[in-house]
Structure formats: structure tokens, C-alpha cells
């Protein structure tokens, strides 16, 4: 029974409620046809009741005009408001919101704000109250607090109306009946549930209680953020202090090392000077590799004999230095690192064999081509 009017909107010409003597009736509650004595709640023109057939859902139709849209809307809205007035209230929707606050560190703190759906029973219910720039379809008053109710019959944007309601210092709810079918409207129990209690048809436009809870949560989160920031700052300061301390230590170590190395270089120079004064080194007579191998063997045997097998090896020139040496006495390689090693007591028996396959003489020449100080000859 849908007709398509000239403007293209689909429109149900069936009217769910007829009005007689100020009361709304469903079509099955009155006589059939014109005998129903009902008028349209919208345009107030006479209605025909159609409740005769078995297959037809009881409804009203205009006797003449068929382009009245207000009949449907006014009837459903007034019937809904009448139910709220009869009960002096309705079930309020649940409320759920999450608030958050961000700390200095960028970390976010969250809090859920919610309360359950609950029925409200007022002291009185006023119908269709003009609030100036918006109409409340019902106003439920309970101990001096007012709840504004909007009944939505067609699905269309209510944004501007709700903006006006948000400026009013009272809680307001929307009951959305736009999803109801004609059949559901016609069944009193289904309609009553949709109007009074179905959680899916109601939502808050504005909840003063919700706003109060949100404000409280925001205040609490603000206090938490202050504590959180203070702890974070404290921890940051502590880590910074550790970092500073470590840097100072490292700098002191580096300075100490540089001073020790400078002193060592001075010692080397003096030793080299003394060796030159004594006519050492002797002029290279054999090949450089052979000479360097001899020096390595020389120092290894010295470690076994004179240093109790303890020595420190230079990673650059591969010459053994006395145990405890921090720097190499012989070369001036910047790449030199010193490693403690143990020399077996019987090394003399195998040292020449070992040297034959050793890369140390070549490595020594490559990394420390000249020695500043010559090891003392081993006798």
C-alpha cells in the first residue's frame, strides 16, 4: 500500500491512529469504515477504519485526501507521549564514555565513565512543551529536575534541534521510533516496549549526570597526570644523573689514559735516546723479517726465564712486555692493545718451530714497521 507521490517520496498512506474526542484509537478498537467516527490526528479530516478483512492489518485511511504525512507522525508521536504520561516516566538509556589525559611523556591515561540503564518515575509529565526554539514532546519532572524527551518518528537529521537542547540546562533523551514497522506500531505491547524500555530505541541527547561523572573523571585524571608527570620527571632526573656520572667517569678515565700514554711516550723517547748513546741498535745486517722474528723469540724466552712466564703482548708489534705494562715499550702504534699471556716454562724447546708457522713477525712489521725502542738483547 505504498504510493509514490509527485515529489518522489515513498509514503505509507495507512494511518495507525485515529482520534475521537481527544483520544487515540487503533483501527481494531473502533467500528469499521466511516462509522469509526475518527479524524486524522494530523489534518483533522475524517478517516475510514479498515479492520474487516482477515488478511489486512487494521488501519485508517483518509476518506478523501491521501497526501497527508502528518497523520502518521502526529498519531505515533502522541500515542508515545500518552504512554509516557500514563506511566509518569520511562527507562533511561545507559551511558558510556571514555575520557583520557596525556602526560608530558606522551603516555595517555584513560578512564571509563558509565552508568546502567534505569527507569525514572516522575512526579508529573507535561506534553508538548514549547521551550522557545525547540519543542520537548514530553517533560518528565522528578523532584524539581526535568527530563526532556524527543520522540523521533521519521529518520532525518535532528542535529540543529539537539544543538538547541544541548544549550538547555536539563537532561534530554531521544526515543527513536523511525525503525518501527506499521505492524509493530499496531501491536500495543510491542509499541509500548519500543517507547518505554527498549535500549535500542533510546539514547542520551544530554545527560547532566554523565557530564558530572565526566567532569569528576577528568579532574581525577588531571591529578593522576600531575603525579605521573612528577614521577616521570624524578625518574628522568635519576637516569640523567647516572648518565652524567658515567660521562664524567669516562672523561676522567680518558684523561688519565692520555696522561699515562704521554708519560710513556716520554719514557720511550728517553730509552731510545739512551740506546742510541750506547750504540744500539746495531745496523740491520739481515732481513727485516728475520730480525723481527728474532726479537719476538727474544722477548718470549725472556718472559719464560725472567718474568715467571707472565707477560703482556702488544697487538701491534707482537713483542712481549713485562707483566703489568699498560703500554708497549717498543712500538708507537696507535692501534696497540695489550693482552696478558702466559708463556710455558719449556717454550725454549719449541719456540723456533712455532715461529716457523707464525704470522707474528709479518704482522709485527706491518703494524709497527719501525721500533722506537729495541728490546735488550737476550743472553
The CB-of-69 to Zn ion minimum distance in angstroms stands at 8
43 binds Zn ion (CB under 5 A): yes
Q: Judged by CB under 5 A, which of 36, 40, 205, 217 binds Zn ion?
A: 40
Where residue 132 falls (left for φ over 0; alpha for ψ -120 to 50; beta otherwise) is: left
16 binds Zn ion (CB under 5 A): no
Which of 285/334 has CB closer to Zn ion? 334
Which of 160/270 has CB closer to Zn ion? 270
> Which of these segments, 65-73, 123-131, 140-148, 244-252, binds Zn ion (CB under 5 A)?
65-73
> Which of these segments, 114-122, 237-245, 250-258, 307-315, binds Zn ion (CB under 5 A)?
307-315
Q: Judged by CB under 5 A, which of 16, 18, 58, 71 binds Zn ion?
A: 71
Binding mask 126-145 for Zn ion (x = CB under 5 A): --------------------
76 binds Zn ion (CB under 5 A): no
Binding mask 313-332 for Zn ion (x = CB under 5 A): -x-xx----------x-xx-
The CB-of-362 to Zn ion minimum distance in angstroms stands at 15
Which of 24/90 has CB closer to Zn ion? 24
> Which of these segments, 36-44, 96-104, 129-137, 303-311, binds Zn ion (CB under 5 A)?
36-44
Q: Judged by CB under 5 A, which of 42, 58, 75, 122 binds Zn ion?
A: 42
The CB-of-19 to Zn ion minimum distance in angstroms stands at 10
The CB-of-91 to Zn ion minimum distance in angstroms stands at 31
Site residues, Zn ion (CB under 5 A): 40, 42-43, 68, 71, 314, 316-317, 328, 330-331
Amino acid at each position: 500500500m505504498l504510493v509514490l507521490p509527485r515529489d518522489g517520496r515513498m509514503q505509507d498512506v495507512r494511518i495507525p491512529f485515529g482520534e475521537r474526542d481527544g483520544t487515540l484509537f487503533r483501527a481494531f478498537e473502533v467500528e469499521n469504515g466511516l462509522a469509526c467516527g475518527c479524524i486524522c490526528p494530523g489534518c483533522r479530516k475524517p478517516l475510514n477504519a479498515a479492520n474487516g478483512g482477515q488478511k489486512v492489518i487494521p488501519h485508517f485511511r483518509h476518506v478523501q485526501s491521501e497526501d497527508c504525512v502528518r497523520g502518521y507522525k502526529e498519531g505515533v508521536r502522541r500515542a508515545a507521549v500518552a504512554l509516557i504520561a500514563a506511566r509518569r516516566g520511562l527507562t533511561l538509556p545507559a551511558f558510556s564514555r571514555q575520557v583520557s589525559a596525556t602526560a608530558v611523556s606522551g603516555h595517555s591515561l584513560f578512564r571509563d565513565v558509565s552508568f546502567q540503564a534505569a527507569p525514572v518515575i516522575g512526579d508529573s509529565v507535561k506534553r508538548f512543551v514549547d521551550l522557545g526554539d525547540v519543542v520537548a514532546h514530553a517533560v518528565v519532572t522528578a523532584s524539581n529536575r526535568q527530563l526532556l524527551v524527543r520522540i523521533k518518528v521519521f529518520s532525518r537529521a535532528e542535529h540543529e534541534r539537539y544543538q538547541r537542547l544541548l544549550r538547555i540546562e536539563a537532561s534530554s533523551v531521544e526515543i527513536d521510533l523511525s525503525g518501527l514497522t506499521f505492524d509493530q506500531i499496531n501491536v500495543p505491547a510491542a509499541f509500548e516496549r519500543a517507547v518505554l524500555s527498549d535500549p535500542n530505541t533510546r539514547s542520551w541527547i544530554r545527560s547532566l549526570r554523565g557530564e558530572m561523572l565526566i567532569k569528576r573523571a577528568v579532574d581525577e585524571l588531571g591529578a593522576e597526570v600531575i603525579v605521573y608527570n612528577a614521577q616521570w620527571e624524578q625518574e628522568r632526573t635519576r637516569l640523567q644523573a647516572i648518565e652524567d656520572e658515567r660521562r664524567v667517569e669516562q672523561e676522567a678515565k680518558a684523561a688519565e689514559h692520555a696522561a699515562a700514554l704521554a708519560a710513556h711516550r716520554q719514557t720511550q723517547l728517553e730509552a731510545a735516546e739512551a740506546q742510541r748513546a750506547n750504540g744500539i741498535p746495531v745496523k740491520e745486517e739481515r732481513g727485516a723479517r728475520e730480525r723481527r722474528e728474532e726479537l719476538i723469540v727474544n722477548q718470549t724466552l725472556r718472559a719464560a726465564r725472567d718474568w715467571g712466564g707472565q707477560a703482556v703482548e702488544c697487538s701491534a708489534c707482537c713483542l712481549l712486555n713485562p707483566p703489568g705494562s699498560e703500554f708497549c715499550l717498543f712500538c708507537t702504534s696507535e692501534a696497540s692493545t695489550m693482552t696478558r699471556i702466559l708463556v710455558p716454562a719449556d717454550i725454549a724447546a719449541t719456540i723456533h718451530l712455532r715461529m716457523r708457522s707464525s704470522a707474528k713477525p709479518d704482522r709485527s712489521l706491518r703494524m709497527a714497521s719501525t721500533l722506537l725502542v729495541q728490546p735488550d738483547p737476550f743472553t
